[in-house]
Structure 1
Amino acid sequence: MRRIARLRRPSGPAVSAAKQPIAPLACPSPAARASIHTTSQTSRTRPATIPSRSPHLAHFYSTENQAVPRSLVTPGAEEDVPFSTRLEGDIVGEGTAQEPQGGLYVTPPRRTTAKRPDEVADSSYVPATIADGLESVGGLENWWEKRDHWKGDFVGFRPKRKIVEPLVLEAAVRRAVAEAFALRQAGRNEDLVGVWPEGDLHQMRRSLQLGITVAEDGQVSLNGDVAGLLEDLSWKDGLQEPAEGSATGDSSAPRKAAKKTVLSAEEVSEHKESWDASWKSVALDDPRMKFAVTKRIFQLTGQLVPDHKLPEVTNVHTLLRVLQKPPKPQTLTEEILKRRQELVELPNVTFSAKRVTRGDKEKAVGRFKLIEEELRKRDLPLEGHGFARKNKEREWLKGGV
């Protein structure tokens, strides 16, 4: 009969394991669980686990009163702060809206419970038995839709309306190029990757009036009111001050950033007459300048240059080729009418704006009247499939819409 060989001791260092009796698995009582929780917090051999989230966000995860670990409490802070002040951030008055530390929104008030009729001290109080005539006060209906409950509005970097007109896009590209090179010539390289004020129509016209000259060695020089352009690109305490000689006339009164406005195609064409065609040869090989120009174009027009197109952008001409795309025709008929006029002149060819059905063919030869008469005899619809039952599965997939 075969026997199992005796296992040898491991050849490594001796491992000393303390012999501890194995306790049976049992559910401790609530008092025992509380004592175990307290012991685990004050034990020196096994410190309590500190949650990874911030204490300021604790009320988003749980509403129960939990003990704060002593490692998060500054020594001597509990003795100096009064007890009422310590509980001010934890206890919220019932029925009152509490504003969080961020100050961006106001949370709904907590639910309150009215007193029982026998607890009211007023002897003349008569409890109501029906709800007729009672006014509805409070509630959480449309709480987050009210503007009074929000302290700040979201301001997007991208405009709501994307610009697709070729002339307006060209004006935005010229403005972005002029502003980027003006900042680099002024030594404000850190502002190239920052957020620039959008400006108004007056600032837009000032940037388009600048002259852009490209030398033989590729150096770019700006001619015109460069100082005013740099002033338009400066933020002061979150506000934008109008530059000297602006339309307002008051350079000391700060104003907020103007709304997103663009020039019309007619006005852009007037400015384009004074532009030199050499400005499209401005090199954009520098990644910092390329990022500044494309970022500004995205802010003004909503046109984002895809990442796979960025290596192709080497100068302004290639950038315009990426941005200015001809609008796609909606139908094949429109494309033929615009580009293939010789097909329209053929006598045996006709074009239709929609799909030609069998009914259209019968109407063209005059047989549809006979078909209508036969359909009336059989009490069938003349057009469409009104007699057929609707697809129930389609309604189920749409959720009953």
Structure 2
Amino acid sequence: MKEVKVIELFAGVGGFRLGLEKASSKYKVVWSNQWEPSTKSQDASNIYVNRFGEENHSNVDIAQVSSDEIPAHDMLVGGFPCQDYSVARTLKDSAGLEGKKGVLWWQIHRILNEKEKKPSFLFLENVDRLLKSPVKQRGRDFAIMIASLCDLGYAVEWRVINAADYGMPQRRRRIFIMAYHENTSLYKDIVKLENPLDWVLEEGILSTTFNVTQKSKQTFFEIEGDLPDISSNFNKKTSSTSPFQNAGIAINRKVYTVETSPSYDGHFETLGDKILLNGAVPNEYYIKEDALDKWEYLKGAKKEKRVNKATGFEYQYSEGAMIFPDPLDKPSRTIITGEGGASASRFKHVIKTAEGRLRRLTPIELERLNMFPDNHTEGATDIKRAFFMGNALVVGVIEKIGSELAKRI
């Protein structure tokens, strides 16, 4: 395959595209979609257009886009939101399905289902709690996804990867999902294996890119029933734990899963590697003396009585201390969407400069921690730029996986 035509859904500010285009010239994004509901200002889409151009970019609700409007493609990628993936039978047709809340996942399913020529590869990203949701039926949502993709002809591989475990500058733990259609050589390579977990531990795209060691015995089970049955009954009796470990593969609804640990002995980047020199940082990012007490309180340990304002219920609240300021000789903590703005916060990053002053991180520094180019999000407010990085993925993870996939196809 000399060229891999890609569509990017839930594109944000283009992290998947950046990683793939850095990985190989094979990848050509032929269509993208980014739509933020409940807001008139489409800031992320505007950034995407500023960086990549408006040609073949869609800024409308994906549910309103006919699959006929989406060009033929070899790979579908996207960081779809973690929602409730429950389904029910439609009233009109017992063979049909309707997604209740996880509407964006079901848009991916709709596109795959309606395309006569299905993409050869899927490359998806989500928060790692997807493996354990919802609370009352641990693993049900992921089981629905796995079953629906297997039914569409895919083998599905997954791994939870913390970028910092492999030398990247941010501790950001996410699940990465690769799916290979039955018409691909990679699918055929998987089904030939006597033990499919060999793919997960040694021979697959993810294990070759990010080495692991086996931490637990492998588990095998089958996902049975149609999708509404899975939605209603999966893991209902033993729902305290999810049957899905942090790595695994599923073929024809047969699930092989195992707990793994990262194996890496290379260079580790740190928060300190990514900070700007003091003179390049606007004064507004420095913490004022009269605000320091509030920052120290929020970052510190607490054990105090609090009252629920709505009910008047009094309870004991406690939490441990956070390291304050953030250490420069380690990878950063996970960037959150509320990272921007001057108000004191327990979760925002604060560093001490060489001059001994305390300050927040700038948009450029947040971009660097996600391995974006400097000023990729320029054009939006600083608060929005921080929000984008709280929603983004670590580009280096996509680049490395994309590079290995390009070699194998």
What TM-score do you get using the length of structure 1 for normalisation?
0.19
Higher alpha-carbon Rg: 1
Q: Which has the higher strand share?
A: 2
* Structure with higher helix content: 1
Greater relative contact order (Cα < 8 A, sep 6+): 2
